[in-house]
């Protein structure tokens, strides 16, 4: 009897041990597969975009990864990368891809939400070392320079039209004294500060321009986007 009664206990211990092993091994295998998938996608992006300054950072969301991979669909993929535009401006791209799945010719995303940020120092120093551009708060730019040795500060809000960013002054000072921002000289100076947006990846088009602590950001959205 004792030998017979010990067999159920051994089976129970074995079942517990197997369950504990699976509970440890499956998440580890899922994490390894996720890391490999993110690395492969990062390599693929880097090979298709030679303008990148460093390897992109890729995060594939959703759990368990292996189940999503078996289905051929991931709920969300996030990509962050640093690149350089054709005219030499550094830009940081933050792209969120939703419902990424296989489609004819590669992969597609049901939605894409992208942000492309150019730092302030690139906006001024490349064309005019005396010009300083910074965040003025409330979605506006603070533009500073010296004219004939006199400090001029203009606060302006960016506008996007036909893929071109223009500036509209909302306040200005000359040697610390307020002046009319509609002064022809200020309007002319801002008219010369026009930025043509470069072609965005994935065929996206910018829909909005915002200003924040990190620089000027072009926002773009797309639906049913082919990723290749």
| Segments making up each domain of the chain, as ranges | 120-196
What's the pLDDT tens digit per position in 95-126?
A: 999 999 888 877 899 999 999 999 998 886 55
Q: Could you give the CA distance from residue 117 to residue 150 in angstroms, rounded to a whole number? A: 31
Q: Is the whole-model pTM more than 0.85?
A: no
Q: Which residues contact 69 (CB under 8 A, 6 or more apart)?
A: 33, 37
What's the pLDDT tens digit per position in 175-228?
A: 989 999 888 888 887 877 788 888 888 889 999 999 999 999 999 999 999 887
| HEC sequence for 139-191 | CEEEEEEEECCEEEEEEEEEEEECCEEEEEEEEEEECCEEECCCCHHHHHHHH
Find, among 123, 128, 189, the residue nearest to 154 by Cα.
189
Query: Would you state the pLDDT for residue 24?
Result: 54
């Amino acid at each position: 009897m004792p030998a017979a009664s010990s067999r159920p206990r051994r089976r129970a211990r074995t079942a517990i041990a197997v369950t504990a092993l699976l509970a440890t091994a499956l998440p580890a295998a899922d994490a390894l597969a996720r890391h490999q998938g993110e690395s492969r996608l990062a390599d693929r992006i880097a090979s298709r975009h030679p303008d990148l300054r460093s390897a992109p950072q890729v995060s594939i969301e959703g759990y368990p990864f292996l189940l999503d991979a078996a289905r051929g669909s991931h709920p969300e993929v996030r990509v962050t990368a640093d690149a350089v535009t054709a005219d030499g401006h550094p830009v940081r791209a933050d792209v969120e891809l939703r419902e990424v799945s296989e489609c004819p010719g590669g992969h597609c995303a049901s939605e894409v939400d992208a942000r492309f940020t150019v730092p302030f120092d690139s906006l001024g120093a490349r064309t005019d070392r005396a010009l300083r551009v910074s965040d003025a708060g409330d979605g506006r730019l603070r533009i500073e320079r010296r004219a004939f040795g006199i400090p001029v500060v203009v606060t302006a809000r960016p506008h996007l039209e036909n893929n071109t960013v223009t500036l509209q002054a909302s306040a200005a000072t000359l040697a610390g004294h307020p002046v009319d921002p509609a002064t022809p000289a200020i309007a002319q100076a801002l008219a010369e500060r026009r930025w043509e947006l470069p072609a965005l990846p994935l065929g996206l088009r910018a829909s909005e321009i915002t200003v924040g602590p990190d620089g000027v950001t072009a926002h773009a959205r797309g639906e049913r986007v082919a990723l290749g």
